[in-house]
Chain A
Amino acid sequence: MTVDETRILVPCGALGSGVRADEVDAGLALAPHAIALDAGSTDSGPAYLATGKSKYSREAVKRDLAILMRAGQTAGIPLLIGSCGTSGCDMAVDWTLDIVLELARAQGDTPRIAVLYAEQDKAALSAKAAAGAVRALSPAGPLDDAALGPCGHIVALLGPEPYIAAVEAGADIVLGGRTTDTAVLAAVALMRGGAPGAAWHAAKIAECGGLCTVNPTSPGVMMSVDGEGFSIAPLSPTNHCTPYTVSAHMLYENSDPFRLVEPGGVLDVTDARYAALDERTVRVTGSRWEPMPYTMKLEGAGGGPFQTMMFVGIEDPEVLADVDGFVGRMDYALRRRLARTLPEQAAQIDVSLRPYGWNAVSGRPPPPGAPPPREIGLMFVATAPTQALATEAAKVCNPFFFHFPVREGKELPSYAFPFSPAEIERGQVFEFHLNHVVATDSPFELVRTKWVETAARARASADA
């Protein structure tokens, strides 16, 4: 049986990063079956999941959504967005829904919207763990109260099944909570009978949009999946995919370049073959999908201590001749000053000095004989249980940090503070706490689907 080709328009690597309307138009001319993209990741750190706030600005997301909603409506094809609002927790999904509804009203659209929630309840997860359904991934401990307790939000990464169910039920727009990057792109191709290995592999290659092309600043790609394999090409007529750029993308942000664990199986590309179909398009065959018992990965993050920082610039050659000695002496002096001035709280305060321009990035000793830098930026970071205490620590350290002599007995120098006041309240530290997978009875067990019928809403508000 021949499987019809499924074309998925992937307009960019992340909603809000800048969709190009001309590329989307070029893609629509090829009659895609869906527009799909991802709007989030843990890539930028734990703050977005811990707080539920989006990394991209509301206006940037709104601009991209306006282009994509109009494109979906014009072509009469569904728009699928995974990991809404960066973290894909419930408030991030609702933040995205709010923008979609605002645009629908402004554009006079009445889309049927399916909203897929992926946020998880701690008690329910504890029960799953007690039942032996949760497995820790290296490096992590068991899913106990110590791991769950500090999490502000916990999400389970959705697979493609809830997207497929939503599209089959007639959704024009599907807004998903946290989802694997690949699942949201693979969904419609799987729904239409595309080979699972090809659909998942195509989705992995397309997940960062233009990163699999020779010109990654051109963000859109089209993935076309059939019964034997898939092909991929950039949306821009001036950009190209080559077997090298496509196969090399399997390396990107993956700890394993051959096998990718997904909900319900493993994608294995060990035997995949990459061939140029024409000068812009690459054809891939030989990707395998190994079905496995259904599991979903968990992500959780929460707030920790608070930080206050200070920063000085130093050009004094006497300091720069021995940066390590200078920073070491200052570190000792600051700790002693804190112990004497804040004796009750000093044990709760951490001070970190990082000389940018010398070895702040790695924290490793520079190679022996490294020449003195021309200048350094010395960063001071105080970490404490409260913002007030972190700032108190910075203020206690301020005169030493500003005037620390190159050696004892020398006149007091003044280093170059760029700001007043000198201390900057950086806010809370956020941390990832979970690295676990949970086995589920079905792909829908941990997902909640809500339908938003904008036509009914519009009628209700017209009647009112």
Chain B
Amino acid sequence: MPRLREVCRYVRSKNAGPFWITVDLFFDGPGSYALYADDPAIGAAAVAQLYGVDAGQVKRFKVDALNVVKLSFPRLKPQGGALERDMHGGQQFVPLLDLDLA
């Protein structure tokens, strides 16, 4: 039962416009991608719960050619407001790293 960080060579997050965050999970090869890309721990419902957003608003894409799963979800507050902590969303991937995969 690996953690996400053990089967990805790179995980990153970034703003996608002022209202969305997008996360890219670069699996470490086709083997890990085939085994874990559809794992419920990184499914829309789990991601929605982790980031406090509505599951219906999570967009999830599989990019087979790159062994990448992409997750996009709206920010709780638009980029840059009074209580902003991560202007570019560049650290928003961190809570995913230790998720246990089946």
Binding site for B on A (CB under 8 A): 42-47, 137-140, 244, 247-248, 251-258, 274, 299, 304-305, 307, 350, 352, 354, 360-364, 367, 383, 429-433, 435
Given A247-B65, A257-B63, A257-B70: A307 in contact with B82 (beta carbons within 8 A): yes
Taken together as a complex, chains A and B put the C-alpha atoms of A362 and B51 apart, in Å, by 11
What is the size, in residues, of chain B's interface with A at 8 Å between Cβ atoms?
A: 34
Majority DSSP secondary structure for residues of A touching B: loop
Q: Which residue of A244, A256, A307 has the most chain B CB atoms within 10 A of its CB atom?
A: A256
CB <8 Å contact, A43 and B15: yes
Given A257-B63, A257-B70, A304-B81: A252 in contact with B14 (beta carbons within 8 A): yes
Taken together as a complex, chains A and B put the C-alpha atoms of A403 and B63 apart, in Å, by 54
Closest chain B CB from A232 CB (angstroms): 17
CB <8 Å contact, A139 and B82: no
Closest chain B CB from A285 CB (angstroms): 14
Given A42-B18, A45-B79, A383-B82: A362 in contact with B65 (beta carbons within 8 A): no
Given A252-B14, A253-B14: A432 in contact with B79 (beta carbons within 8 A): yes
Q: For A429, list chain B residues within 8 Å (CB).
A: 80-82
Given A251-B66, A361-B86, A362-B91: A256 in contact with B61 (beta carbons within 8 A): yes
CB <8 Å contact, B95 and A431: no
If A251-B68, A383-B83 are given as contacts, then 13 extra A-B residue pairs at C-beta distance below 8 Å, sorted by A number, are A46-B79, A138-B74, A251-B22, A251-B24, A254-B16, A257-B61, A305-B82, A361-B86, A367-B98, A431-B80, A432-B78, A432-B79, A432-B80
Q: Does B94 contact A (CB under 8 A)?
A: yes
Taken together as a complex, chains A and B put the C-alpha atoms of A274 and B66 apart, in Å, by 12
Q: Mark B10-34, 1 if CB is under 8 A from A, else 0.
A: 0000111111101010000000000
CB <8 Å contact, A360 and B20: no
CB <8 Å contact, A45 and B80: yes
CB <8 Å contact, B85 and A43: no
Q: Report which of A46, A256, A363 forms a contact with B18, defined as CB distance below 8 A.
A: A46
Q: For A253, list chain B residues within 8 Å (CB).
A: 14-17, 22
Q: Does B87 contact A (CB under 8 A)?
A: yes
CB <8 Å contact, A362 and B85: yes
CB <8 Å contact, A139 and B79: no
Q: For B78, list chain A residues within 8 Å (CB).
A: 46, 431-433, 435
Q: For B61, list chain A residues within 8 Å (CB).
A: 256-258
Q: Report which of A46, A139, A258, A431 forms a contact with B57, defined as CB distance below 8 A.
A: A139
Taken together as a complex, chains A and B put the C-alpha atoms of A42 and B87 apart, in Å, by 11
Q: For A274, list chain B residues within 8 Å (CB).
A: 65
Taken together as a complex, chains A and B put the C-alpha atoms of A47 and B84 apart, in Å, by 13
Closest chain A CB from B18 CB (angstroms): 4
Q: For B59, list chain A residues within 8 Å (CB).
A: 255-256
Taken together as a complex, chains A and B put the C-alpha atoms of A247 and B88 apart, in Å, by 22
Q: For A364, list chain B residues within 8 Å (CB).
A: 95
Residue of A nearest to B87 (CB): A45
Taken together as a complex, chains A and B put the C-alpha atoms of A383 and B82 apart, in Å, by 7
Taken together as a complex, chains A and B put the C-alpha atoms of A138 and B20 apart, in Å, by 9
Closest chain A CB from B89 CB (angstroms): 10
Taken together as a complex, chains A and B put the C-alpha atoms of A435 and B79 apart, in Å, by 12
Q: Report which of A252, A307, A435 forms a contact with B19, defined as CB distance below 8 A.
A: A435
